[in-house]
């Protein structure tokens, strides 16, 4: 009788067999190269399940080692979603989005035989942005995708808010068309239209109506005050603004100067049954181009046309109008959907205002990918957030770390029981907040990274893939994930602009179809930040060999003290750790210093008596002396200044520190 060995002893034999097969394949590939043959390999070693470019195996290095040959990088685009991909968790048994299914093959410049696997991966990654640009002729404006999705799933939930509890996709399309028809006379002479509304069903429908009408929407940042909104309206040459009397009264806002208000309450009340019937007929039967033609009075929308102008929040300077096209937003939506893996039952919490680039993109992400979206006007109302997530069984939460801190305090684990994905961005997600959120709600927030100028998502951590015999990492702690499909990144020296080795901190550059068309009326500034197609983010980052990005700090959040660059974010992290705080209680800025150029100042919200102890721990942490603020440069505040987007308000921080320390600039 032959006894079968224990199961645990079978794995070494299997591994050995696979290793032998791999070595045999490597030798055979080398022989083909020696014979002058063309050898094609897939250095990832397996088909991606996460939708991202996987790490490259070192087999490519072994094949070409010692041989006088070239490595030609190749990028296959639009393969994801075909029957041969693992999109949706299935292989070969799914229906492709279109037939015939297009695939693009992009070839790069040859690399030398001594190129590392990481260098080859970088070359392939940079080809992806060129591949995605070739998608443009086959793509359609954003509202076309919304029309198609509304007809495919007419009764599925599209939007909801505290006033309009639930609106189906067909109702949303009819409402947007009816609003567009109602606004045709008021918008007749305008190419850009102003919108001043909180996150709500009404705001979503007005933005859809603007896109259907071939006009660029300008969602005004109401947290900037009247002066900031007036500046934005003037730069965009706005003549009208769609807004709400109730919203202005509750938020205690004044309208910007020089514009005519169009009250949404009056617009909705003025839509009669004839216009509703016409809108319903158009929504049900008219082709997308006809809908666009009727709503826009004959204008035709192209992918390069501007769909929105997002004014920056002005955390470090005056607001700038960022011009984003249909293709900018569309490529970002498609890339994010590829890595997040949108499901039929997914629903998104819409708490980010539509003047926030992520909030605006999320509107089209949900609308064009078949996910419902529930809006709330106040992201800091944690009680309402918890109730909303529970009522609508929301599965995706997109928020800032600042907002997550509020939910940690007030929301119950049961309320967040339906969440499967939490994506945090706009500011750094600390390990403490991530751990606390995971411990309380059972789902770990993944960190994303972006910029308004990039539509806005550049990279994102996504769920790992695990199965028998497979592990594909989608995120890595301490990083902001990998670049979205179609986006290329480089880490370069700040002075020479030369690419740096993996793991070396440097200036982060981004290229791809998501990069903005430019700044409104600021061609010189556009030329400064976008050079040869690469957008200069102003952030200092590192990237490992597998393509995961770690943001070290913003270049604007460094102080030059005694000739050395001191990162504010690093000091904040150590202060938080020293205080043992789960939420952010410190914010570091800088004030002028006659001897050393600058010196650190710290705003804090904890008890004053704890500061000496925190400083002692800071001194014992091993930080250089230049990184340690003086005790008399700690400024107590009731709360840290935050913008409406959830980011720290850097300008207000500096002003508070200057006033408290009585420093003159």
Q: Does 126 map to a domain?
A: yes
Mean pLDDT, range 232-257, rounded to an integer: 93
Q: Report the b/e string of 109-142 with b at 16+ CB within 10 A.
A: eebebebbbbbbbbbbbbbbbbbbbebbeebbbb
Binning pLDDT at 50, 70 and 90, where does residue 426 land?
confident
**CATH at 185:** 3.40.50.980
- 195 and 264 assigned to the same domain: yes
Residues 41 and 190 grouped into a single domain: no
Give yes or no: residues 133 and 169 share one domain. Answer: no
- Exposure string of 632-646, with b = 16+ CB inside 10 Å and e = fewer, is ebbbeeeebbbbbbb
Residues 114 and 159 in one domain: no
Q: Is residue 376 part of a domain?
A: no
Task: Tell which of 246, 268, 302 closes a domain.
Answer: 302
Residue 1, domain member (yes or no) = no
Tokens of residue 66, six digits: 């010692």
Say whether both 151 and 196 belong to one domain. Answer: yes
Task: Classify residue 595: in a domain, yes or no.
Answer: yes
Q: Quick one: which of 286, 293, 299, 307 has its CA closest to 151?
A: 286
Judge if 93 and 177 occupy the same domain. no
Boundary of a domain, candidates 115, 138, 161: 138
Q: Which of 13-17, 43-47, 130-134 shows the lowest per-residue confidence on average (mean pLDDT)? A: 13-17
Between 335 and 67, the more confident residue is 335
- Per-residue pLDDT tens over the stretch 265-312: 999 999 988 989 999 999 999 999 999 999 998 899 999 999 999 997
Identify which has the larger pLDDT, 647 or 290: 290
CATH number of the domain within which 588 lies: 3.30.300.30
Domain count, the chain: 3
Residues 146 and 285 in one domain: yes
Express each pLDDT in 151-175 by its tens digit.
Answer: 999 999 999 999 888 999 999 999 9
Output the DSSP codes for 197-240. --SSHHHHHHHHHHHHTT-EEEE--GGGHHHHHHHHHHHHT--E
Residues 639 and 567 in one domain: yes
* Parent domain of 93: 17-138
Same domain as 193, residue 66: no
Pairing of strands 216-219, 240-243: unpaired
Q: Given 138, 171, 198, which residue is the final one in a domain?
A: 138
Contact 561, 626 (CB under 8 A): yes
Q: What is the predicted pLDDT for the residue at 17?
A: 42
Whether 507 is covered by a domain: the verdict is: no
Is the pLDDT score of 401 beyond 90? no
In a domain, 242, yes or no: yes
Query: 166 and 34 share a domain?
Result: no
Least confident of 239-248, 434-443, 472-481: 472-481
pLDDT above 90 for 576 = no
Shared domain for 54 and 133, answered yes or no, is yes
pTM for the structure as a whole: 0.84
Is 50 exceeded by the pLDDT of residue 500?
Answer: yes
Q: CB neighbours of 28 closer than 8 A, spacing ≥ 6?
A: none
Q: Indicate whether 543 belongs to any domain.
A: no
Residues 115 and 56 in one domain: yes
Residue 172 located in a structural domain: yes
Alpha helices in 370-507 (DSSP H): 382-392, 401-410, 431-441
């Amino acid at each position: 009788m032959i006894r079968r060995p224990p199961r645990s002893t079978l794995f070494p034999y299997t591994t050995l067999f696979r290793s032998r097969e791999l070595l045999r394949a490597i030798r055979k590939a080398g022989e083909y190269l020696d014979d002058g043959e063309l050898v094609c390999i897939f250095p990832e070693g397996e088909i991606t399940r996460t939708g991202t470019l996987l790490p490259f195996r070192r087999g490519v290095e072994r094949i070409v080692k010692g041989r006088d040959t070239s490595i030609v990088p190749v990028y296959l685009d639009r393969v994801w979603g075909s029957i041969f991909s693992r999109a949706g968790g299935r292989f070969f048994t799914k229906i492709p989005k279109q037939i015939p299914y297009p695939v693009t093959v992009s070839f790069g410049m040859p690399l030398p035989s001594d190129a590392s696997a990481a260098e080859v991966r970088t070359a392939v990654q940079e080809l992806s942005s060129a591949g995605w640009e070739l998608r443009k002729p086959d793509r359609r404006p954003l509202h076309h995708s919304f029309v198609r999705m509304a007809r495919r799933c007419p009764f599925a939930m599209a939007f909801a808010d505290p006033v309009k509890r639930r609106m189906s996709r067909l109702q949303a399309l009819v409402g947007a068309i009816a609003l567009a028809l109602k606004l045709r006379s008021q918008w007749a002479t305008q190419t850009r239209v102003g919108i001043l509304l909180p996150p709500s069903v009404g705001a979503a429908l007005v933005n859809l109506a603007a896109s259907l009408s071939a006009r660029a929407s300008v969602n005004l940042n109401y947290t900037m005050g009247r002066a900031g909104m007036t500046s934005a309206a003037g730069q965009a040459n706005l003549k009208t603004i769609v807004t709400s009397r109730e919203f202005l009264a509750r938020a205690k806002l004044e309208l910007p100067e020089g514009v005519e208000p169009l009250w949404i309450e009056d617009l909705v009340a003025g839509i009669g049954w004839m216009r509703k019937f016409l809108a319903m007929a158009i929504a049900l039967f008219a082709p997308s181009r006809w809908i666009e033609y009727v709503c826009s009075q004959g204008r035709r929308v192209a992918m390069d046309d501007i769909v929105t102008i997002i004014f920056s929040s002005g955390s470090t300077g005056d607001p700038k109008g960022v011009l984003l096209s249909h293709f900018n937003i569309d490529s970002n939506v498609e890339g994010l959907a590829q890595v997040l893996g949108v499901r039929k039952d997914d629903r998104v919490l819409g708490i980010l205002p539509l003047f926030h680039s992520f909030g605006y993109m999320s509107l089209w992400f949900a609308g064009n990918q078949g996910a419902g979206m529930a809006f709330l006007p106040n992201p800091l109302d944690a009680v309402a957030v918890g109730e909303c997530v529970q009522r609508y069984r929301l599965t995706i939460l997109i928020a800032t770390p600042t907002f997550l801190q509020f939910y940690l305090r007030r929301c119950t684990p049961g309320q967040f029981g339906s969440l499967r994905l939490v994506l945090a961005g706009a500011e750094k997600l600390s390990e403490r907040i991530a751990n606390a959120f995971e411990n309380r709600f059972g789902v770990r927030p993944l960190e994303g990274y972006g910029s308004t100028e990039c539509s806005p998502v550049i990279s994102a951590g996504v769920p790992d893939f695990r199965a028998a015999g497979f592990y594909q990492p989608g995120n890595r702690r301490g990083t902001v994930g990998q670049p979205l499909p179609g986006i290329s990144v480089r880490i370069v020296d700040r002075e020479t602009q030369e690419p740096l080795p993996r793991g070396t901190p440097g200036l982060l550059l981004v290229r791809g179809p998501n990069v903005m068309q430019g700044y409104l009326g600021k061609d010189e500034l556009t030329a400064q930040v976008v050079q040869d197609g690469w957008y200069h983010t102003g952030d200092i980052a590192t990237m490992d060999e597998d393509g995961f990005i770690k943001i070290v700090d913003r270049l604007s959040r460094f102080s030059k003290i005694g000739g050395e660059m001191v990162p504010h974010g690093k000091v904040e992290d150590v202060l938080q750790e020293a205080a043992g705080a789960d939420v952010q209680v410190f914010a570091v800025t800088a004030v002028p210093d006659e001897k050393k150029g600058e010196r650190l100042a710290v705003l804090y919200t904890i008890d004053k008596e704890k500061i000496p102890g925190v400083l002692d721990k800071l001194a014992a942490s091993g930080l250089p002396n230049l990184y340690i603020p003086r005790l008399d440069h700690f400024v107590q505040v009731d709360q840290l200044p935050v913008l409406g987007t959830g980011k720290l308000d850097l300008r207000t921080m500096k002003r508070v520190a200057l006033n408290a320390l009585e420093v003159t600039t």
